[in-house]
Amino acid sequence: MKRMTIIKITAVMIFLSSLFYLASCAKKTLTKVEPVKRGKAGEEVVIERSDEKMPKWVYDEEFQVVKEKRQKFVVVLTDIQHKDRRAAERIAEGDLKKRVAEGIKTLVDSQFREALTGTDQTFSQTFESYIETVAINVPVIGLVVTDTYWEKVQRFKTKKEVEYFYRVVKRAKMPYENYANSRDKAWQDVLENTDNEKEREELSKLIANMKSGDET
């Protein structure tokens, strides 16, 4: 009987310790500061944030291709301000999709133009429309939000009058392989619809050259 009582007491102690640990973690990740009563017009003060310090990734480029543990990813970032935090979160997630779609168009364009370097000028001009067609038809597949940082900001309209807004920064990524597969499918569609045999042959070489760059 005494043994059962000891086991119960031990279990309760472990449970309470877990609750205390979780509570202490929550306090560490959410930082609050007392609002300032006076300030200069236009001055902004962060009074609450999701992390103790602003993460380094917040300063990343809006669109980039990175390599992590031998795997490549397309990474996109957005920074949104709104009076309501939930609204800012929703807008940020929608903006991520928009930014990655725009970034993919630029990526398709730059990769194929690089492959075009040194080719016949006539082909370069002919392939302009192909580049645009492919850039529009590469879908965004497998984009996942990986990081979120937010802060509540107090802004002084006058020395005493203030307003509040939230700044939400989100980062998302998708496997580069997803992008490359979608891009290659779009290029294949272009090839199949190219009637000029000489153009199709030249285009096939350029696409192969472009694909080889995926390994770097």
Residue 20 maps to a domain:
no
Residue 128 has a pLDDT of: 86
The pLDDT assigned to 169 comes to 98
Query: Would you say residue 115 lies in a domain?
Result: yes
Residue 59, domain extent = 31-215
**pLDDT tens figures, 138-186:** 999 999 999 999 999 999 998 889 999 999 999 999 999 999 999 999 9
Please give the pLDDT value at position 29: 61
| Of the candidates 153, 149, 140, the residue with the CA atom closest to the CA atom of residue 170 | 149
Query: How much of the chain exceeds pLDDT 90, in percent?
Result: 62
pLDDT tens string 60-89: 999 999 999 889 999 999 999 999 999 999
* Alpha-carbon dihedral 55, 61, 65, 69, rounded to 10 degrees: -20
pLDDT tens profile 186-209: 999 999 999 889 999 999 999 998
Residue-level pLDDT at 216: 74
Q: Tell me the C-alpha distance between 208 and 185, whole Å.
A: 13
What is the count of structural domains for the chain? 1
pLDDT at 160: 83
Q: How much is the average pLDDT of 121-133?
A: 86
| In-domain check, residue 24 | no
> What is the pTM assigned to this prediction?
0.78
Does any domain span residue 4?
no
Q: Mean pLDDT for the chain?
A: 85
Is 5 contained in some domain?
no
The SS3 of residue 15 is helix
Give bridge partners of residue 167 from the DSSP assignment.
81, 151
Q: Between 107 and 41, name the one with better pLDDT.
A: 107
Whether 20 shows a pLDDT value over 50: the answer reads no
Does 128 fall in a domain?
yes
DSSP symbol at 152: E
154 forms bridges with which residues in the sheet?
Answer: 45, 164
Give me the sheet containing 162-175, strands edge to edge. 31-32, 44-49, 144-156, 162-175, 71-82, 63-68
Segment 106-131 mean pLDDT:
87
